[in-house]
Structure 1
């Protein structure tokens, strides 16, 4: 598919995409709150500024966009136009994510990564929230899949 926007118009549109309080993040926060879990958001004192932080349990949750963080799903594909730029951008994001996760774990934090595609509908949001809540309460900490 050919891009119908100029480079300047595309750049402007991409700059308007939010990195905080996204739809998937808000949906997960609402579901976790409904389960009685209380948390802090966008905690600046930690590497990567996690989206959701459970300070007493020392657990952080990142809600990653599939496109921006290179998830292996249909949404996580590299665009055909300017593909070298996007490949580099996504790879840089993935390396930064891995570095932040290592730093958090070294500091004693448990890390949970939730992907945007896992929050597409109400049923998926409920299942993801239940999984996150279960992992916070129990001790099972599988590694995020990168």
Structure 2
């Protein structure tokens, strides 16, 4: 199937995709404020330039788009055009994520991934459910975990096991 847009229009659309202050980051920031957490954002000195850093608890939180970081959920769909290109590009994102997370864990940080599907869409978690999961993870001393539409799940240090049914 051919792209419905010209190369120039597709390029313009791709350039418009934000890398910070996205809707899911804004929602999570509001929830972190509601929980009373003091946090920093987008520290370029840390591997992966984390979306949120809670220094008082040595916590790093990434908000991952389900498409760009290949989450096994209803929001991820392999494009019908240039499939090989997209799978390679997204695969590189996943490998970079794993490398950055291993580095952060090695530096003594705790890492939480919050997936886009937990923050928006038809299966998103309620604000109450999200704040409970955030507080649960931060205060429990959990090492490495993810939040998706099914709740919170511990991960191995190289992380990417999706829980059954996600």
Structure-1-length-normalised TM-score: 0.92
Query: Which structure is higher in helix share?
Result: 1
Give structure 1 stretches of 5+ with no counterpart.
none
Cα deviation, 1:65-98, whole Å, max 9, x if unaligned, reads 0011111112212100111111011000000000
**Bigger shift: residues 17-26 or 1-10:** 1-10
Q: Which position in structure 2 is the counterpart of 1:111?
A: 111
Shift of 1:6: 1.1
Q: Distance in 1 between matches of 2:125 and 2:68?
A: 24
Per the TM alignment, residue 138 of structure 1 is displaced from its structure 2 partner at its CA by 1.2
Q: 1:125 to 1:2 in 2, by over 3 A?
A: farther
Secondary structure at 2:81's aligned position in 1? coil
Equivalent position SS for 1:4: coil
Alpha-carbon distance change, 68 to 57 in structure 1, aligned in 2, over 3 angstroms:
same
| Greater CA drift, 49-58 or 114-123 | 114-123
Q: Is the 8 A contact 2:118 2:125 kept in 1?
A: no
* Partner residue, 1:145: 160
Partner-residue secondary structure (3-state), 1:114: strand
Q: TM-score, normalised by structure 2?
A: 0.81
Separation (CA, whole Å) in 1 of partners of 2:45 and 2:70 = 25
Q: 1:68·1:93 contact (CA, 8 Å) conserved in 2? A: yes
The CA RMSD measured in Å over matched residues stands at: 1.7
Q: Is 1:69 matched up with 2:84?
A: no
Q: CA deviation at 1:125?
A: 3.7
Secondary structure of the residue that 2:75 maps to in structure 1?
helix
Tell me, yes or no, if the aligned pair for 2:54 and 2:60 is still in contact at 8 Å. Answer: yes
Structure 2: distance between partners of 1:90 and 1:38? 32
Query: Per chain length, whose mean CA-contact separation is higher, i.e. which structure has more relative contact order (CA < 8 Å, sep 6+)?
Result: 1
- Number of aligned pairs? 146
Q: 1:101 aligns to what?
A: 101
- Call closer, same or farther: CA 1:125–1:90 in 2, change over 3 Å: farther
Q: What is aligned with 2:130? A: 128
